[in-house]
Structure 1
Amino acid sequence: MKIKEGYILDEIGDQKVAISLKCGENDFSEMIKLNEIGAFLWEKLSEEIEEEKLVEAVTEAYDIDSATARKDIRSFTETLEKNGILER
């Protein structure tokens, strides 16, 4: 799975955001605020990656067990997919 082309990860102040390149100037309707782990996953998903590799990366980087990581990753990726941002 991978983030579709046309999105970038940026930082506004101390907030990480994903922005659609389709947005016009001063149009932030397609801006997604991401927490620390969301931004971490977004960066990993910028290249083709399998769910199991995401689980490994999250459990290595954060104090979280693999079952919780897998559940949270699935929730995140399903949301992205429903919104047309992720390709499988």
Structure 2
Amino acid sequence: MKLKYDIAIQEVADKFMAVAKNGETEEVAKVLTLNETGAIILRALQDGADTSAIVSQLLAEYDVSPQEAEAEVNNFIDMLKENGIA
């Protein structure tokens, strides 16, 4: 999935801030606060991973079922779409 913005992710006090910037102007378009799982998913999307690869990554990182991991990834992607980031 292609993201519409260049996104920088920074950890701040147990949360992650994702700053979406317009690649041409460097103007900040969106700022999101993410948990660790959201940061993992977003970084994987930036690296070009597909849903199944991200689900596998979450399964290796957390004690969740494949269904829970897939739902988490799909919900996160839906949130990105709702916010105009994907």
Tell me the TM-score normalised to structure 1 length: 0.79
8 Å contact kept, 2:17–2:32: yes
**Which residue identity lines up with residue 63 of structure 2 in the other structure?**
D
1:30 CA displacement: 2.3
Matched with 2:31 is 31
Matched residues, number = 81
SS at match of 2:46: coil
Matched with 2:24 is none
Matched with 1:26 is none
1:31 CA displacement: 1.4
Structure 1's unaligned 5+ residue stretches are 24-28
| Greater shift in the superposed pair: 10-19 or 44-53 | 10-19
Question: Once the two structures are aligned, what percentage of the paired residues are identical?
Answer: 26
Q: 1:64 to 1:2 in 2, by over 3 A?
A: farther
Structure 2's unaligned 5+ residue stretches are 22-26
1:47 CA displacement: 1.6
8 Å contact kept, 2:16–2:39: yes
Q: What value does the CA root-mean-square deviation take over the aligned residues?
A: 1.7
Q: 1:5 to 1:30 in 2, by over 3 A?
A: closer
* CA shift digits 1:65-84 (9 cap, x unpaired): 10011111101101102222
Q: Does 1:52 align with 2:52?
A: yes
Which one scores higher on RCO, CA 8 angstroms, separation ≥ 6? 1
